[in-house]
Amino acid sequence: MREEKKIRAWVILFLTTLAVGGTYYVYDSISPLQDLLRTELGFTPTQYGFLFSSYSFLNTFLLLALFGGIILDIFGIKKTGFLFVAFCTIGTLITAYGASDIYKDSFIYNFMNSFWQGYSPELKMMVLGRIIFGLGAETLIVVQNKIISKWFKGDMLALAFALNLAVCRLGTAAALIFSPKIALSSSLETALWVAGIIMLTGFVAFVGYMIIDNWHIKISFNEDERVKLKDLTALLKNREYIFISLLCVTFYSAVFPFQSFAPDILHNKFNVDLEMSGLLTSIIIWGTIIFTPLFGYLFDKFHNGGKMMLYGSALLLVSHTLLAYTYLTPYFMMFTLGIAFSLVPAAMWPSVALIVEEEKLGMAFGLMTSLQNLGLWAFPIIAGYVTEITNPGINSTSGVKIQINYSYTMTLFVALAAIAIVFSYYLSKTQKLKEV
C-alpha cells in the first residue's frame, strides 16, 4: 500500500504540474512579444505594463487568491482546482481572441470600441482575458501547493516542491524561446492561440489528476478542511510567516516583472534581435530547472531555509546591479538570476508548509499569493511608466526606430532586490526556520 501510494503521488504531481506549467507558459508568452505588440497593435510601454499587470488585478484588489485558498480549505482540492483551471483556459482563449482577425470583424469589437476610446479594443479584450486567466492561475498554484503538502509529507516535501517549480518553469522557458519564433514565422495571433492550446492541454491533465485521485484505494489523510476566521488571525501573528510573505512580494516583484521587460531590455541595451533576447532571458529559467531540484534536496537534508533565502536575495541584487550599470555579458547575469530564482523559492514554499498547520495551508498560501500579486500588479505598470517618461518620443508614430534606455527601469528592480535582502536577513536569523 505504501509503495502504491508513493507511485500514485508522483503521477499526481506530474499531471497537476502539467496544468500549472501551462499557466507559466501562458503568463510569459507575451513577454518576448512586447515589440510586436507595440508595432502591430500600437501598445505603448505603459499599456504593455498594464496588460501584463492586469493578470494580478483581481487578486490584488479583491484578494481573490486568499478567498480561493479559503474556498480550497472548505470545498476541497478537486472542486476548487477544476473551477480555477477552467478560468485559466477561458482567460487564455479570450486573450488570443483579442488579437485575432476574427475579433476585428465581430460586433464585439465595435462594442468594445464604444467606451474608453483612449484604449484600443484589442487592449481591452486582451486585458479582460488576462484578468480571468490571473484569477484562475493564482488560485490554481495555491491548489497545487496544497496537493504537494498533502501527498508529500516527510522527507521529500521540499524536493516535490522543487521538482514542481522546475517543471513549471520549463513552461516559462518554452514561452520565451518558442513564442517569438512562432510570432515571427507566422503571426502574433498564432503565438497567442498556441498558448491557448497549451492551456487546454493543462486543463485535460488536471481532469486526469481528478480521475486518479478518485480511485477506490483509500489513503488516510487529515480531511478536516473546515476553516475558521481565527485561523487568519493566527496566521497574522506568525512572525516568520509574515516575513516570508513580505519576501515573497519583493523577491517576485524583482523577478517576474523584470522577466516581462527583459527581452526588450536585452534587445535595446545589447543590440540582440528579438529571438535571441527571448533565448537569453530563458537562461534564467534554465538555471531554475537545473538548480531548484538540487536546492530542494538540500533543504530536505540540511534545512536552514533562512540562509538559502538570504543567499538567493543577495545573488538577485548582484545580478540586477550588474545588468543595470555595466555592459558585462548578459549571459552571466541571466545565469546568476537563475540560481537566485532557484534558491529562494526552493526554501520559501516548503518553509510555509512546515511552519503552518495543514488545515490552514490553503488560507496561508492564498494570503501569501494575494500579497505577491500586489507586486505583480503594481510593478509592471510602474516599470512601463518609468520607461515611458524617461524615453521621450518612445510613442512616436513616425516609423523611426528609437533606442530605448532602460537604466531607470532597472534601478527600480535593483531597489526591490535590496529590500528583499532585508526580509531574508531576518529569516536567516530566526530559530524557527533553523529547526524545520
Per the structure block, which three cell numbers stand in for 280? 537569453
- Determine the straight-line distance between the first and last CA of the chain, rounded to whole angstroms: 28
Query: What are the sequence ranges of the domains in the chain?
Result: 2-214+226-435
Distance of CA 172 to the CA centre of its chain: 9
- What fold does the segment set 2-214+226-435 form as a domain? Growth Hormone; Chain: A; (1.20.1250)
SS3 per residue for 390-425? CCCCCCCCCCCCCCCCCHHHHHHHHHHHHHHHHHHH
Give the model's pLDDT for residue 417. Answer: 95
Q: What percent of the chain has pLDDT over 70?
A: 89
Burial label for 275, CB within 10 Å (0-12, 13-18, 19+), is middle
Give the model's pLDDT for residue 254. Answer: 93
Give the model's pLDDT for residue 376. Answer: 78
Amino acid at 63: L
Distances (CA, A) of 77 to 141, 142, 143, 168, 311: 11, 10, 6, 19, 34
Give the model's pLDDT for residue 220. Answer: 44
Residues of the chain with pLDDT under 50: 1, 216-225
Q: Are 125 and 110 in contact (CB under 8 A)?
A: no
| Rounded Cα distance, 158 and 305, in Å | 10
Distances (CA, A) of 140 to 22, 250, 394: 11, 21, 37
Q: Under DSSP, is residue 304 helix (H, G, I), strand (E, B) or coil?
A: coil
Which residues make Cβ contacts (< 8 Å) with residue 155, sequence separation at least 6? 300
Give the model's pLDDT for residue 119. Answer: 84
Cell 475579433 belongs to residue = 103
| Rounded Cα distance, 238 and 182, in Å | 47
Could you give phi then psi for residue 14, rounded to 5 degrees? -60, -50
Give the model's pLDDT for residue 2. Answer: 63
Q: Report the candidate in 382, 409, 254, 380 with the shortest Cα–Cα distance to residue 319.
A: 254
Q: Report the candidate in 131, 396, 340, 377 with the shortest Cα–Cα distance to residue 260.
A: 377
Give the model's pLDDT for residue 4. Answer: 66
Give the model's pLDDT for residue 303. Answer: 72
Instruction: Return the sign of the alpha-carbon dihedral for residues 7, 10, 14, 20.
Output: positive
Give the model's pLDDT for residue 1. Answer: 41
